[in-house]
Homo-oligomer: A and B are copies of this chain.
Amino acid sequence: MANSIPYQSCKITGGFWENRQNINRQITARAVYERFLDTHRFDLLKCPNREDIDWTPHRFWDSDVAKWLEGAAYVLAAHPDPWLQERAEHAIADLLANQWPNGYMNSYFTVTPTETPFTNRDAHELYTAGHLMEAACAWYEATGKDDFLKAVCRLADRIYCVFVEEGSASFVTGGHPEVELALVRLANTTGQQKYYKLAKFFLDQRGNNAKDTPVTDWANALYDMSHLPLAQQHTAEGHAVRAMYLTAAMADMCDDPVYQKVAEDIFKNVTEKRMYITGGLGSQHIGESFTVDHDLPNDTAYAETCASIAMIFLAKRLLSATAKNCYADVIERELYNGALSGISLDGKSFFYVNPLELEPAFNQPHVSTNHKIRRPITQRVEVFNCSCCPPNIFRVLGSISELLYSVENDTLYIHQYASSEAEWKGVHVTTQTNYPVDGRVHIRVTGAKTIALRIPGWCQAFQLNKPYTMHDGYAYVAINDDEEIILDMDMPAVWMQTGAYVPECANKLALMRGPVVYCLEGVDNGSCLRNVAVVPDAPISPIPSAEFVAPILKTKGLYKLPGDHLYGRFQDLRQEKELTFIPYFAFANRGESEMYVWLNYQT
């Protein structure tokens, strides 16, 4: 069991993620705040009379505010920012003023006396409570102020009372998991094992009691994995975010080998059978859900930003238990692809759904019915009605430094490569790297006898300036204090394929370089891009890019210019065409455009 070096003890000092953290602090923190202000999420905290307002609040708006507060805490832990601090304090004050005498907190229920707490399993009350707990823990860590933390403890106590002691709620487990994760964090922050037990209670009860019926009439019990006791489950089912939050909570049950095993099994099921190459999770918009193995449509993908984030949480917990590169590899896949694509390069706008293909011309509303087979939106937006993703990616980018290192006994693990400096429990480490522009990493450590360097699954060759032994994808190196360790990973662009039968990827290839998945966009390559066939033998040239940080890749492929005739005899009319690939995370930043990750090929 390795302990992650926490975000407060590790600072990103340069490179790819420093750039992103700067945007996160300077732009995203404000942009999310202002959109939530425009849409009355902060007004709701003041608990106005419902008769006096001309807007309609939602049951889980407080969770949006909570995630923004959590992100703000991470940002403030690294950089003083009076503007942000003041607004966060006001929001917290409003939240605290709004707590019920019995400990309950939820502004929507406060202003809506016609609804009784804990009578509607689909109201996301436990989910919202969980986000308040996480925000309060972060606020306490960042500022040392404990009023918010004390308030969420009273909230957790109220939940314990209603669900464990009284059994007076209309349901036993919430429709949308999250409180389970949050309670473990609250237990760790406060030292109160009662909260850990409450988390375990919710896990033990799921799928084990008759009170928890499906949350909506169009879903069945698989939708929130209530179809079987969790201890008997081995696959990821239903709503992808719910499934991953829940599985992350099982991975948190470090005293329970059964839940550990279930979490490992589900991780394996997802990453080996139900995950897009970008790390995207969820194959259909109906239920925002997993479907069946290898069903991974590119154009109608769901792949919610929050699901990729939830996968980071799961993989981080599994990695803490066992240092295997498969866990850290997935974190990396999500960070550079499926999660990061959820936010624009300028940090202001967001995708909820992250497809692997966009064909705007075939998404037209000019049809005879008011519906079309649903496809993802083609342009990022600043706020959604259900705006869970924007503050979620904000908090992840704010706390990314907690994903880099962990320590176990005398060994320092390096899971993710980023220029950074950490000081924790006698270990001091500095890393210098341009990763993922190239794969060269310089490391200096004091206070540890061994460092374990993750060799990513994508890496087929590397050089290390010290002897090492490999174990579970980590290179273990005995070190002396302050000597320079240099890891140099070859990072060629490579064509990827599916080995298993994924119909939507059959006879297609995708381009990756290091951890970064690439895509072909219309803005660089013209239109009708399904007519492209890539040529895997053609040379691929990386071109430095200030815009994307990771390089652009140029290669040659074949392309058939569209003609007039609908059907005709085959003639091979394809001509050579220069192709420009950009990082997938950067798609849809330059106007509406076609986009493809997977392309046909010709050898």
Contact B218 A362 (CB under 8 A): no
The stretch that binds B, out of A12-20, A114-122, A186-194, A286-294, is: A286-294
Give the interface centre of A373, A533, A565 by most chain B CB atoms within 10 Å: A373
The stretch that binds B, out of A140-148, A364-372, A539-547, is: A364-372
- CA–CA, A365 to B146, complex, Å? 50
The stretch that binds B, out of A80-88, A272-280, A381-389, A480-488, is: A272-280
Interface residue A569 (Cβ < 8 Å from any Cβ of B): yes
The stretch that binds B, out of A33-41, A89-97, A471-479, A499-507, is: A499-507
Contact B300 A373 (CB under 8 A): yes
- Closest CB in chain B relative to A247 CB, distance in Å: 15
Contact A497 B570 (CB under 8 A): yes
- Closest CB in chain B relative to A112 CB, distance in Å: 28
Q: Which of B237, B292, B361, B530 contacts A506 (CB 8 A)?
A: B530
Contact B290 A368 (CB under 8 A): yes
Chain A contact residue count (CB 8 A cutoff) = 73
**Besides the contacts A460-B569, A496-B570, A500-B565, what 20 more A-B pairs have beta carbons closer than 8 Å?**
A218-B369, A218-B370, A218-B371, A222-B367, A223-B368, A272-B566, A286-B371, A286-B373, A289-B369, A290-B368, A291-B372, A359-B503, A497-B567, A498-B566, A499-B566, A500-B564, A507-B530, A509-B570, A570-B601, A602-B603
Given known contacts A271-B566, A567-B277, A600-B506, is B373 in contact with A373 (CB within 8 Å)? Answer: yes
Contact B506 A531 (CB under 8 A): yes
Chain B residue with minimal CB distance to A572? B603
- Closest CB in chain B relative to A583 CB, distance in Å: 17
- CA–CA, A291 to B375, complex, Å? 14
Interface residue A238 (Cβ < 8 Å from any Cβ of B): yes
- Closest CB in chain B relative to A534 CB, distance in Å: 10
Given known contacts A562-B501, A563-B500, is B372 in contact with A284 (CB within 8 Å)? Answer: yes
- Closest CB in chain B relative to A411 CB, distance in Å: 30
Chain B residue with minimal CB distance to A495? B570
Interface residue A258 (Cβ < 8 Å from any Cβ of B): no
Contact A368 B239 (CB under 8 A): yes
Contact A533 B507 (CB under 8 A): yes
Q: List chain B residues, Cβ under 8 A from A238.
A: 368-369
Interface residue A536 (Cβ < 8 Å from any Cβ of B): yes
Contact A600 B600 (CB under 8 A): yes
Give the interface centre of A218, A295, A495, A532 by most chain B CB atoms within 10 Å: A295
**Chain A 278-319, CB within 8 Å of chain B: the 1/0 string?**
000000101101111011000010000000000000000000
Give the interface centre of A223, A367, A497 by most chain B CB atoms within 10 Å: A367
Chain B residue with minimal CB distance to A227? B368
- CA–CA, A220 to B369, complex, Å? 6
Q: List chain B residues, Cβ under 8 A from A291.
A: 364, 367, 372
Given known contacts A291-B367, A507-B533, is B494 in contact with A566 (CB within 8 Å)? Answer: no
Q: Which of B277, B362, B368 contacts A222 (CB 8 A)?
A: B368
Contact A369 B568 (CB under 8 A): no
| A contacts, CB < 8 Å to B | 217-220, 222-223, 237-239, 271-273, 275, 277, 284, 286-287, 289-292, 294-295, 300, 359, 361-362, 364, 366-373, 460, 494-503, 506-507, 509, 527-528, 530-533, 536, 560, 562-572, 600-603
- CA–CA, A272 to B507, complex, Å? 28
Contact B295 A494 (CB under 8 A): no
Give the interface centre of A237, A291, A359 by most chain B CB atoms within 10 Å: A291
Contact A369 B286 (CB under 8 A): yes
Chain B residue with minimal CB distance to A362? B295
Chain B residue with minimal CB distance to A534? B570
Q: List chain B residues, Cβ under 8 A from A536.
A: 570, 572
Q: List chain B residues, Cβ under 8 A from A502.
A: 566
Contact A287 B567 (CB under 8 A): no
- CA–CA, A273 to B567, complex, Å? 10
Q: List chain B residues, Cβ under 8 A from A563.
A: 499-500
Contact A566 B275 (CB under 8 A): yes
Contact A369 B295 (CB under 8 A): no
- CA–CA, A500 to B277, complex, Å? 30
Contact B531 A507 (CB under 8 A): yes
Chain B residue with minimal CB distance to A509? B570
Contact A494 B569 (CB under 8 A): yes
Contact B531 A501 (CB under 8 A): yes
Given known contacts A564-B500, A570-B494, is B292 in contact with A362 (CB within 8 Å)? Answer: yes
A-B contact pairs, 24 of them (CB 8 A): A217-B370, A219-B368, A237-B368, A239-B368, A271-B566, A272-B566, A277-B567, A286-B369, A286-B372, A286-B373, A287-B368, A289-B367, A289-B368, A292-B367, A300-B373, A362-B503, A373-B373, A496-B569, A501-B531, A501-B562, A502-B566, A506-B528, A507-B600, A572-B603
Q: List chain B residues, Cβ under 8 A from A500.
A: 562-566
Give the interface centre of A218, A500, A562, A567 by most chain B CB atoms within 10 Å: A567
Q: List chain B residues, Cβ under 8 A from A565.
A: 272, 498-500
- CA–CA, A239 to B367, complex, Å? 10
- CA–CA, A286 to B369, complex, Å? 7
- CA–CA, A503 to B567, complex, Å? 13
Q: List chain B residues, Cβ under 8 A from A570.
A: 494-497, 509, 536, 601
- CA–CA, A218 to B367, complex, Å? 11
Given known contacts A501-B562, A566-B273, A566-B275, is B494 in contact with A368 (CB within 8 Å)? Answer: no
